[in-house]
């Protein structure tokens, strides 16, 4: 198993120096919680990448 938080921190550091990095927001929580949060806030987005927790499906 890899350390998700470590990868998110590395990616965030790289996005911080990217021209449009300020537009990127990382959510480290179950996808259903994130989607419910976005729906409740009526937020819009261009793209969402959801890496599911596959152990929940076994």
Assessment of whether the complete model's pTM goes beyond 0.85: no
CB-based contacts of 26, cutoff 8 Å, min separation 6: 8, 11, 12
Higher pLDDT, 43 or 13: 13
**Domain span at 36:** 4-57
How many structural domains does the chain have? Answer: 1
The long-range contacts involving 29-38, CB below 8 angstroms and separated by at least 24 positions, are: none
Confidence at 14, pLDDT banded by 50, 70, 90: very high
pLDDT of 16-58, one tens digit each?
999 999 988 888 888 788 888 888 998 777 766 666 566 665 5
């Amino acid at each position: 198993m890899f350390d998700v938080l470590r990868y998110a921190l590395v990616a965030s550091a790289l996005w911080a120096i990217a021209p449009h990095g300020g537009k990127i927001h990382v959510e480290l929580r179950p996808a259903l919680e994130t989607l419910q949060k976005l729906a409740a806030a009526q937020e819009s987005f261009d793209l969402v990448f959801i890496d599911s927790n596959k152990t929940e499906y076994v």
